[in-house]
């Protein structure tokens, strides 16, 4: 006769071995995926809470990166405007020397004074050209229409045209740098050389003031915010890395451990199945 010997215990051991094998196989596959991708979270099931946290931090990083780009672009625009204003300042300094030369009644001939006035006209034309041609990305910067905006702050760049510089009121009459051109009230060939000198001094001061305020906005608003974002970004990246990135030492250790356990559970499962086959039926004497 044939009888069943130990079938139920053998079956339980087999189920345990199968469960252990599957668990170790999944753990090994997860560790291999982490080592291959460099990411600790490759699927939502790897760490649901960590996935939510890292996604939120990633969104914050994207916003900060966009803000940094906006601030950097505004800073580049400020630098371009300042460079053009520096040229204007140099031109006005040269014009100042010509005005002073023509204000002296001795030493210069009429032809020399006319030549100086032509140079002044050329300088003022160049100033006007800089005010209309200075641009960044197709946007004019010195015609009075530009406003730098970033991180909720803004700065309006004033026009650098001759008609907007050196505004001075003398005896109830208001003059600007444009009045120093030939044929105008403050031409150095006329009798208002002293007023012309006052106007050009004011124009030089206007440009210096505009450069200073523009530089302050760039340094203490734009650059300060860029640096602040950079500091925050480092902290956020560290947090994201802790959530998402693979700890290679830990993953390698887990992979080795899972591999050993997988082989061990497989060996146990093989032995259990072999015993079950041998002991399933036996002959009773």
The pLDDT value given to residue 160: 97
Q: How far apart are CA 258 and CA 269, in angstroms?
A: 16
The pLDDT value given to residue 74: 95
Q: How far apart are CA 76 and CA 38, in angstroms?
A: 36
Going by pLDDT thresholds of 50, 70 and 90, the confidence category of residue 19 is: confident
Q: How far apart are CA 81 and CA 93, in angstroms?
A: 18
* pTM exceeds 0.85, yes or no: no
DSSP string for 177-233 = GGGGSTTSTT-TTSS-HHHHHHHHHHHHHHHHHHHHHHHHHIIIIIIHHHHHHHHHH
Q: Summarize pLDDT for 208-227 with one digit per residue, the tens.
A: 999 999 999 999 999 999 99
78 neighbors 136 (Cβ within 8 angstroms): no
- The token pair at 236 is 């956020």
Going by pLDDT thresholds of 50, 70 and 90, the confidence category of residue 4 is: very low
In the chain, the percentage of residues whose pLDDT exceeds 90 is: 51
Q: How far apart are CA 188 and CA 117, in angstroms?
A: 6
Long-range contact set of residues 16-24: C-beta below 8 Å, sequence gap at least 24: 17/265, 17/268, 17/269, 17/272, 18/269, 20/261, 20/265, 20/268, 21/262, 21/265, 21/266, 21/269, 24/258, 24/261, 24/262, 24/265
Residue 116 burial (C-beta neighbours within 10 Å; 0-12, 13-18, 19+) = buried
Q: Summarize pLDDT for 27-44 with one digit per residue, the tens.
A: 666 666 667 676 767 767
Residue listed under structure tokens 């916003």 = 63
**Could you count the other beta carbons within 10 Å of the beta carbon of residue 93?**
13
Q: How far apart are CA 102 and CA 95, in angstroms?
A: 11
C-alpha distance across the termini of the chain, in Å: 8
Residue listed under structure tokens 């053998």 = 10
């Amino acid at each position: 006769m044939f009888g069943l010997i130990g079938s139920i215990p053998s079956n339980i051991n087999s189920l345990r071995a199968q469960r252990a094998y599957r668990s170790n196989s999944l753990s090994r596959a997860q560790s291999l995926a982490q080592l291959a991708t460099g990411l600790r979270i490759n699927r939502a099931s790897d760490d649901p809470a960590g996935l939510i946290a890292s996604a939120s931090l990633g969104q914050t990083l994207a916003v900060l990166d966009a803000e940094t780009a906006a601030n950097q672009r505004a800073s580049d625009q400020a630098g371009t405007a300042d460079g053009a204003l520096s040229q204007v300042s140099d031109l006005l300094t040269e014009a100042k020397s010509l005005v002073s030369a023509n204000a002296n009644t001795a030493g210069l001939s009429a032809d020399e004074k006319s030549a100086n006035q032509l140079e002044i006209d050329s300088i003022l034309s160049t100033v006007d050209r800089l005010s209309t041609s200075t641009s960044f990305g197709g946007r004019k910067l010195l015609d009075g229409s530009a406003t730098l905006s970033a991180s909720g702050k803004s700065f309006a760049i004033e026009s650098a045209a001759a008609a907007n510089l050196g505004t001075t009121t003398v005896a109830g009459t208001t003059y600007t740098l444009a009045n120093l051109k030939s044929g105008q009230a403050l031409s150095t060939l006329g009798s208002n050389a002293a007023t012309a000198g006052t106007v050009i001094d004011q124009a030089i001061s206007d440009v210096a003031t505009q450069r200073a305020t523009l530089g302050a906005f760039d340094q203490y608003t734009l650059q300060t915010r860029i640096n602040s974002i950079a500091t925050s970004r480092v902290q956020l990246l560290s947090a994201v890395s802790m959530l998402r990135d693979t700890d290679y030492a830990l993953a390698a250790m887990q992979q080795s451990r899972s591999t050993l356990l997988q082989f061990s559970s497989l060996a146990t499962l093989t032995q259990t199945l072999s015993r079950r086959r041998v002991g399933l039926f036996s002959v009773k004497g």
